[in-house]
Amino acid sequence: MGLFDIFKKKEERKENQESRILLAMPMFVNGDRYELNAIVDHLKNYWNLAVTDIDGDDETAILNIDDEKVAIAFMPIAIPIEDITGTAQYAYNWPTVLDEVKNSTGHSIVSVLSGTKTDAERFKLLSKILHSILTTSNSIGIYQGSQTLLIPKEQYLESAENLKNDATPVNLWVYIGLRESEEGNSVYTYGLSAFGKLEMEIINSKLGLEELYDFIYNICAYVINSNVTFKDGETLGYTAEQKINITLSKGQLVDGQTLKLEM
């Protein structure tokens, strides 16, 4: 069990519950693009995934990967710059993204369609597919608008490699925002809703941003892997002695209701 099991019991898995479609867009410049056969070979040989029922070509394809239906399509146009610009203002991990996408000539749309696997399993599959696309092409990086994520190629490849060791690459699935102010440091999530969870915030803490980032990253990994739902009035911590209060209230840095962790 995880570090926080003494504070929260694992929820029961809901069998046969349909998940929502997952979307991501690898971006290409200077006329580059992917090759379907290369992606399929990499998925089979590197990730040891079963790829069957392939219907399509380098333009559009529907295929079954690890018993999930996946669609891959190539679009010979850039992602609308207003979408990239809106997300780029939050992309502290890719400060040069707007300069790099100036020469964008196309992108692909990768969709993991509705299925019966858990959200975590389906996000892992999405990341493996994107890893294979990045490895076998000259894509410059990934745009995931639903999670406000722009991730450069090398960072994505490095983080996705963690899946080989059953680690959880939270930064590929959830945006972790950082804010500094005179009142203190704040951190928040954007993307936990894709796992059916409330977003989390730590507001005006005296702790450093790096420490806050690492803490909420680990909390996100625990929530995703163990499929737990924290509730108003509960506590969590790394040890039995550490008790971090959880309160539910209107989000300060994220829309809607969020869980505040008092640190």
Retrieve residue 250's tokens. Answer: 């209107």
Q: For residue 241, what pLDDT is reported?
A: 78
Q: Is the pLDDT of residue 2 over 80?
A: no
Q: Is the pLDDT of residue 15 over 70?
A: no
Q: For residue 194, what pLDDT is reported?
A: 95
Phi-psi map region of 50: left, alpha, beta (phi>0 left; psi -120 to 50 alpha):
beta
Domain ranges for the chain, please list them. 22-171, 174-261
Q: What is the Cα–Cα distance from 168 to 165, expressed in whole angstroms?
A: 9
User: How many helices and strands, by DSSP H and E, does the chain display?
Assistant: 6, 13
Q: For residue 19, what pLDDT is reported?
A: 54
* 240 CA to centre of own chain: 30
Q: What is the Cα–Cα distance from 187 to 55, expressed in whole angstroms?
A: 44
C-alpha torsion sign, points 88, 89, 93, 96: positive
Q: What's 45's DSSP letter?
A: H
The predicted-structure confidence for 166-221, as pLDDT tens digits, reads as follows: 999 999 999 999 999 999 999 999 999 999 999 999 999 999 999 999 999 999 99
Q: Where are the beta strands (DSSP E) in 49-131?
A: 51-56, 60-65, 68-75, 104-112
Q: What is the Cα–Cα distance from 248 to 251, expressed in whole angstroms?
A: 9
Q: For residue 231, what pLDDT is reported?
A: 93
Q: What's 47's DSSP letter?
A: S
- Residue 6: pLDDT band (50, 70, 90) is very low
Q: What is the Cα–Cα distance from 217 to 223, expressed in whole angstroms?
A: 10
Q: What is the Cα–Cα distance from 224 to 62, expressed in whole angstroms?
A: 28
Q: For residue 59, what pLDDT is reported?
A: 97
Q: For residue 5, what pLDDT is reported?
A: 41
Average pLDDT over residues 81-108: 95
The tokens 């410049």 sit on which residue? 29
Least confident of 117-131, 199-213, 240-254: 240-254
Q: For residue 3, what pLDDT is reported?
A: 39
Retrieve residue 193's tokens. Answer: 């809703």
Retrieve residue 234's tokens. Answer: 């509960």
Average pLDDT over residues 117-138: 97
Average pLDDT over residues 150-166: 97
Q: For residue 10, what pLDDT is reported?
A: 40
Q: What is the Cα–Cα distance from 227 to 17, expressed in whole angstroms?
A: 14
- Residue 238: pLDDT band (50, 70, 90) is confident
The predicted-structure confidence for 26-46, as pLDDT tens digits, reads as follows: 999 999 999 999 999 999 999
Q: For residue 116, what pLDDT is reported?
A: 82
Consecutive H or E run containing 188: strand 184-190
CB 55 within 8 A of CB 65: no
Q: For residue 198, what pLDDT is reported?
A: 97
Per cent of the chain over pLDDT 90 is 88
